[in-house]
Amino acid sequence: MTHRARVGAIEIAYETFGAPDDPPMLLIMGLGTQMLGWPDEFCQLLAARGLYVIRFDNRDIGLSTHLHDAPAPDVMAAVAGDARSASYTLTDMAADAAGLMDALALTSAHVVGASLGGMVAQTLAIEHPRRVRSLTSIMSTTGDRRVGAPTEAGAAALMAPPARDRDGAIERALNSARTIGSPGFPLDEQAVRDRASRSFDRAFDPPGVARQLVAVLASPDRTPQLRELAVPTLVIHGADDALIGVSGGRATAAAIPDAELVIIEGMGHDLPRAVWPELAGHIGDLIGRVER
């Protein structure tokens, strides 16, 4: 069941798995990807480890508030270094996550972010350190443009023209999965189709995705601040990530004191079902150490 929480001037849509008395885990998804990017069964797998799992739609995506009245985002200008069209930054998205925790009366949580969600999670740990019991950054990077660069094909997939209709959205999702997905694991095309169709039916807003991308490009390199973190941290990255190169994960782990780095062979820029038990195991082990 989807709930909504008022966070400042916006509403955040969220769902929960597990018992509210268990240690809370906040899942933050990536660019243009709704909370459905954390599959139900994966969330249930985490909840079965004794965790209260919360997934949510970032601003401008899914059932959370879309900033339709914001200035038009200029992605190409932001790529070139002119981010004046940004309506917000990762700082604002991290504040949304902290505000959701306030709405749920959580003083802190174990925070897990994937891709852009990893950037938001890192920013949350930097700017709201008391809210983060542990940090897991998956297939993400530090904001240093010298690391985590996409392959040429990965960049093309990211910048591909938005779909115009439901069928186009499904086909675009499939093309993206074939390009940046995990070459070492089977592609579940039906799961991609199902998520793309559900996402389109919940909300379809290409300008909102562009605003998220400009927010990333408008945000500074976090490396100096990551070096000051004092939070138990796990960094997970696919060895074959075509969208955020594995150097981004390595740099993240190198920056954060005592961070654990896990590189998964054959994994790209997605969460293939075959790696769910391994992901849940690594994350659960980290949280177990912290909770003890």
- Among all residues, which ones are annotated catalytic? 115, 241, 269
Q: Which two tokens stand for residue 284?
A: 């659960």
Gap between the Cα atoms of 102 and 86, Å rounded:
26
Gap between the Cα atoms of 55 and 64, Å rounded:
12
**Chain centroid offset of residue 237 CA:** 13
Gap between the Cα atoms of 85 and 218, Å rounded:
9
Yes or no: say if 214 and 78 are a contact pair by the CB < 8 Å rule: yes
Number of H helices, E strands in the chain: 11, 8
Q: Which two tokens stand for residue 260?
A: 């654990």
How far, in Å, are 168, 170, 276 from residue 163 at the CA level? 5, 8, 29
Yes or no: say if 12 and 63 are a contact pair by the CB < 8 Å rule: no
